[in-house]
Structure formats: C-alpha cells, structure tokens
Chain A
Amino acid sequence: MPPDFWRRLTGTRTREPSRALTLTAPDRESIDLASYLPARLRKLDTLPERAAPLDAQTRVEVARGMNRGAGVLAGSVLFDSAIEHYRGGFHNPAMFFPLVSSTLSIIASASGVGDNTPSVRRERHVAYAAAAATGFAGLAFHAYNVGKRTGGFSWTNVFYGAPLGAPAALVLSGLLGVAAERVRDAAPGQRPRLYGMPESRAIAAVTSAGLAGTAAEAALLHFRGAFQDPFMYLPVTIPPVTAAMMAAVAVDGRPRKRPVTRFLLRLTAFLGFAGTGFHIIGVHRNMGGWKNWTQNIQNGPPIPAPPSFTGLALAGLSVLKMLERSRRE
C-alpha cells in the first residue's frame, strides 16, 4: 500500500490534477440516466432541494471523494469477478465484460481522483455509464442463471449460484461515478438534480440502498457460513444502521452536521477493509491454508468482496461533506 493511501482515500489532501491521462474536453450534455427512469420514478423530480448551492472547489472535492468510492467498488468487483469467473471457466465470453468494465471504471476513478478541475471528461462519464449498464446486465444474467438451476431460487442455489452482489456493486460503482461527474460538472451557483432528485439526496439514496444491498449479500453469505465466527455479525449489524442513517439523509436532505452518521460511515469504511483481513484469515482456516491457495482462494471467503462497504461509505462521506459545506454558505 502506498504511504499516502489512507490520506488519498479519505480525501484529506488535495492533489495537483493528474496529467497521466490525457482526456478530451468536458461534455456537459452527457448521458442523463434520469431520462431512462420510468415516469413514476420521475415524480421524485418534485422533491425539494434543501441545501444551498456549492462553490466549485467544494464540488471538485466532493466529486473526487465519490470517484474514490466508485473506484474502490470497481476494484472490489474486478478482483471478485476475476476469481469467480475464473472459477466458472469463462465458459461464456460475456464473463469477461465485468472485468473490462470494472477496469475502465477504476481507470476513470483514478483519473477523477487525480483531477482537480471542475470539468468533466466524457471518457469518465462513458466508462461509468458502461459500468452501470454492464452491472445491470450482469444482475439479469445472474438471476436468470440461479433461476434455471434445479430447484430454482432455493437456498442452495442462492447460496452457491451466481451472486447478485457483485454485479450490483458494479451498478453502484457506475451510478456513483456518473453522479461524481455531474457533481463536478455543475455550474457555480447551480443546484443540479441527479436521477431526478436533488443531487445530495440522490447520492444519499444510492449509498443507502447500496449499503443495504451489500449488507443483505453479506447476510446471505454469512448465513451460508452459519455465522460460525462472531465477527461475521459485524457486516450485518453496522452497515444496515449506516444505511438507515443515509436513508434519513436522503429523506431529510437538510444541510447540517451529522456526526453520528459520519462516524458510522467511517466505521463502515473501516469494516470493509477489516473484512478483507478477516477473509484472509478465513482462507487460512481452510484445509491446507494459504499453501493450498489454488483451491482456497476460490472456495474460501471472498477476499475482495468486503471493500464494497468501503466504497459506498466513501461516497456517503462525500454527501455529508456536500451538506456540511452548503450549510456554511
């Protein structure tokens, strides 16, 4: 891990715009996902904006925080689907898509994190949108695959069939990334809306749903593991509370300090990494331990999965920052 990893992750340092990636000019009229939402959902359009507009610098900071979150999520997906689809022998060429897409999402996120300018880049936007689309397709595929197994949506099949969590994480990475671009992109003084909602509330809602979903996936898999270790209860207790707090943020949407929520988000972010540590130990507890890694990496607890929590929590922290900054105005 590079020495400034944590600082970068928690966004405590601003960096010079990265020149590593030379991308083309920003595009303000890029894909508006909201226009794809069904009409009923678009009623959300009427939700009031309760926060004051943000200055450009804050926007960039917030956007970079969200890029970070989207990147961590994509990283989790990349490694998780690499292992899972290797296990599946890549017998369907489509099994390469999430690898490509999550890699692009990681590159886009790195570019975003390193970009201190208030201008979007079309490539990032496209990469994120593609991630969301790939994730949605993956969700459908995985659900179909589980359903067609003998016994349909039985416990055994949802335990061991294609997981919904991984493609969902890719969707979340994409949605958060697109949101990051929109946040970055808004003209000064503007109060943009996202997915039909006021931006901060929209991101809070996505984060909340993501945390809840990821916790549900952890609950399923930890139930499969019979909660044999008490620590296995952590991801099914803390993140759901965090998700509830973020849901409250989405509903409430007022610009104010939220120390409890912030603490929970930080805890959840930490939990994501701790989870990876626990899973590394978990692999060791399988027969032959790490010496038998060719088997245990695949059969043991998924090492790359828990950081999904971290990615979502980072996005959540960005929302809090947005609401706090807009309060100060």
Chain B
Amino acid sequence: MATDDGMTAPRAVSGQAPDVFRRGAWVPMRQYPDSEEVDFVIVGTGAGGGTLACKLAEHGFSVVAMDAGPYWRPLEDFASDEAEQQKLYWRDERIVDGDNPIDMGGNNSGKSVGGSTVHFAMVSLRFRPEWFKARTKLGYAVDWPIDWREMWHYYTEVEQALAISGPVSYPWGPHRPRYPRRPHPMSAAGEFLASSAEKMGIGWSSTPIATLSAPRGLAPPCVYRGFCVIGCSTNAKQSVLNTWLPRALDANAEIRDLAMVSRIEMGSRGLATGVHYYRDGRWRFQKAKNVVVAGYAVETPRLLLNSACAQFPDGLANSSGLVGKNLMPQSNHGVYGLVDQEIRWYKAPPSLSITEHWNYTDTGKDFFGGYAYMSQGPLPTAWAGSLTSSRGLWGEKLVREMEKYNHQVGLKIVGEVLPQEKNQVTLTDEKDAYGIPIPRITFSYGENDKRLYEHAVRFMSQQMEVGGARDLFVESDTAHLGGTAKMGDDPRTSVVNADCRSWDIPNLWVCDGSVFPTVGGVNPSLTIQAIACRTGDRIAEMARRGELTRRTTPA
C-alpha cells in the first residue's frame, strides 16, 4: 500500500474519517453521493466553514464540507520541524502587489481540514463591543449589522467549545463568563511583556488561548513545546480539526479532504445548484440545495469571481461590485530587543501575555481603531526571516546576531486596518495546476493605518526600553486577512446580510473572515467562529419558518 501521508490520497473515504486523537485510527463517517442534493455543501473547513458544518449538522441538515487540504492526525503526522510543517500552509501561487504587498503562505493561510486554525497561534479574543458600531459609536469605517450582545452570547458558545484557557477575570470590556479553563503558567517571554507593562503603568493579562491547561477527553494539556504555529502534535491545541469537526462527524456531516472546489454552478432559477470539485484524480460535481463559501478572505472572492456565468458575468453575489474589495489584513508590526536574561522564547505558546490597553483607551490616540500586542516566540527559521527582511543582515553579522536567539524578546501588534475599496483580491490571467486563475492580492496602507502602527511602534519601543531591552529593531508585517465579502444591511453596499446570506443568490452563503465589515484590533478566529455559530442557529430558525427557499429582503 502506498504511504498514507494524508497528502497523496484522500483519507476520508469508504465511510470513515481519520480519528484525530489516535494514531492510525478511524471514526465512522456518513457519506453522500454526488448526485444527492444535500442541504448544504460547504467550501472550506476552517474557522468559518468547519464551525458552520458542525452547527448545521447538529441542527439536522445534511452537510458535505470540502477542503483542498489534507485530513491530518496530528499525533502521527506532525513533526517538530519548521521546514517539514510547511505542508500545513496554502502554498499555491498568489500574486501580491500594491504599496505594501502582503506576505502570504505560512504567514497567512492554511490548507488543511481545519483550515488556518491547524497552525494558528490560538489567541482567542472578543471584539470590543463598540467595534460592532464603529461608525456610530467611534466615528470611523462602518457599522456591523449585528448587535454586540448577540455576539457576546456566541463568543461564550465558542469559548466553551474550545475550552479556552484564560485569566480568572479579564481586565477589559464588559463582563464575560469565566473561561472554561484556567490560565497557563507565564513564560519568560510573556513575563517580559507583563513586567514592562507594569512599568509603563498599563494593564496586561494572561492571554485567553485555545490550548488546554488541563486534559480534555483524549487531548492532553499543553507541554509548552512552542511549535504552535507549525501545528500542535499533541492535540492540546483546540483547533477546528479536533473540536468542531469530530462533533460534525458525530452529527452525520461528511468531510471531503483533498477536494478542491473550482466553481459554483448556477441553475436556471437564479439559484446555485452545487459545486465542481477535483478529488482523487478527477473532476466531480456535488449537488446541493445551498452552497456556503468559507475558503478564507482570498479563496472566497476567488471562487465567487471564478464562478462568473452568463447570468452573473461579474461573479456571484457581486451586484454591489464589492466581492474581493475592502480586503483588510491586520498590521502586525513588532519591536524586538535583547536582554541579559536567558529567555529561550522557543518554549511555550508564544503569546501567553497580552495588553489590550490601546483597544480600550480612546485618549492619546491620533488614529481611529485600536491594537493589542502580545509576547513573541519565533522559531529559528522564522527569526532568521525577521533578521534578514527587517534588517537586511547576512554573512558574519547575521550569524552573530542569530547566536543571541535565547536572549531576545519581542512585542507584536494585531492592529486594526480600515477598509478601502482599492485593497482587493482580483483574478489574473495566470492559471494554477487546476486551471483556475491565480488571485492577485493588492494592498496599500491608508493614512490612518500608518498612524496606528507608528503609534504602536513608538509605544512598544518605549516599553521595551523600560523593560530593559536594548538593540531594538522594528519589523513591519501583516496578518489575518478579512473583509472581501462584507456583511451589511444594504444590498448596494454589502455582499451578504447579517446571516451571511448573499443578497443576490438566496441559497449562496459566505461564512468566514471575508464577511467582516471591520477587523478590529484583535485576532479574528474567535469572532469568525462566533459568526458561524450564529449563522448556524439563524439558518435553523429560517428553515423552521420556511424562509430558506425564499428571497432575502433588506432589513
């Protein structure tokens, strides 16, 4: 038999799916033939798609969720090795341009069953409530069509589902229920942020994080190995792969790994009829009553645009012309420095401490929006990448600098970037291996964005200094893309409504980071999952009321 490495042949076949908790083991899986018109076919099984697959299946719908990536068993497939683990990332070609081209690949998105959560850093934060009404309450960008109190409810649902480890009480924002698990012990890297924050007179906290501080079922607690962003080989990390998807399978969802969707097919009645996908060496077509696109903020608009047809020549769900527009990364600037102590930041999840001071303080700012920053712990090749790209070091200088690895500390922001239509995902003429046009990702910072990260860099540099770090340097970076199929309550200015349902095609839905009207100053995955939970519940409610097949009208 050929080696079962997850990458050469699909694993979720013959009525079973890989058991993520046991080496070489399987769990039963319901399967649907291509010809069966399932209730929902979902493209992408990441933070948005995987979560929604679980919710819809648990509500009793028939669900097939496809992912272009492999179905891993972390215990046997994940090496403690940066180079080897590149296999988790979306490495198909993408072209980046604009004034500030975004680094993609490992920096940004994944290609696995479980999506980018398989290699995410597990930071699990709630939005500041006012951000859902950014225009009305804070005077910038746009409002969300969802009320924060409703989100607060769904955040709780996600935090419970992921058994988030967090502080006993969180210092910012309105009351939230206690995190299901207690915080982790503080690493040296995290302690640096904490003690220097105290010297600056600002608040700090243990980071709410999706890795276990005590066992859960077959998943052991975190062993502080620090390889989180290249995949957690222990299952301590609570990713979509080992939380929502096992539940989805239990509820009779089917998951198809190594299944690349190229196009959504439209029927004569203005409804989507299913998806074309490539799996196991051939092109196939899955019929479905509803199609959900959840492929990440680049692949989602790519698929919608590539599904253009005579009826929708500009791409699906694109009557507003906004599909692909308003692409928002988050600014991810960092300040690094050297200290006397041995920090050894390769240990433990990198971002064990955080300050959201500049998310919740509105005075002393010359910009709109906010940012959080966290402690850092890059692995060797990532660190070499920082030294070469930010400082242009090479030769003897680089080697000497790398030797200080165990004495480095750093702080890095997750900063809000405001929506601009000119920042966008479009299709090029170049084709990938499937014959699908390669996407072009265009990004330039706006003036507000620049003021925000400059403020952050100034403030963090000051903090690094009072904390005793020297030889500081700044890294410019971006992370976490969103916004290319924004939600809203006006079909002219948004792609989907609050329920993630497209205005143009009532049985076409988008459920991932693409729907964010604004991205706030916190990592997005908790919010993506909360939206998916809400969408699942809303769909069930609409189905009960017989509204699933009817056309949507603006609220």
Contacts and interface: CB of A to CB of B under 8 A. Distances in A.
Interface string A138-167: 000000000000110001100110000000
A150 B214 CA distance: 23
A158 to B, nearest CB: 10
B234 interface: yes
A161 to B, nearest CB: 9
A15 interface: no
A156 B190 CA distance: 12
Contact of A286 (B168, B183, B186, B223): B223
A29 to B, nearest CB: 48
A28 interface: no
A299 interface: yes
Interface string B193-222: 011001000000010000001111000110
Interface in B143-172: 163, 167-168
Given A224-B182, A226-B181, A155 B167 contact: yes
B185 interface: yes
B258 to A, nearest CB: 28
B220 A150 contact: no
B236 interface: yes
A50 to B, nearest CB: 45
Interface string A257-301: 000000000000000000000000010011110000001000100
B223 A156 contact: no
Contacts of A288: 223
Contacts of B181: 226, 228
Contact of A156 (B185, B195, B216, B224): B185
A286 B186 CA distance: 19
B182 A286 contact: no
Given A160-B185, A224-B182, A226-B181, A299 B215 contact: no
Interface string A110-153: 00000000000000000000000000000000000000001100
Nearest to A289: B220
A224 B182 CA distance: 5
Interface residues of A, number: 19
A233 interface: no
A150 B215 contact: no
Contacts of A224: 182, 213-214
B167 to A, nearest CB: 7
Nearest to B233: A287
B180 interface: yes
A225 B191 contact: no
A285 B198 contact: no
Given A225-B182, A226-B180, A156 B167 contact: yes
A223 interface: yes
Contacts of A151: 194
B162 to A, nearest CB: 13
B214 A228 contact: yes
Interface in B487-507: none
Contact of A150 (B163, B168, B185, B194): B194
B56 to A, nearest CB: 29
30 contacts: A150-B186, A150-B195, A151-B194, A155-B168, A155-B182, A156-B183, A159-B182, A159-B183, A160-B186, A224-B182, A224-B213, A224-B214, A225-B182, A225-B214, A226-B163, A226-B180, A226-B181, A226-B213, A228-B216, A229-B215, A285-B215, A285-B220, A286-B215, A287-B220, A287-B223, A287-B236, A288-B223, A299-B221, A299-B223, A299-B224
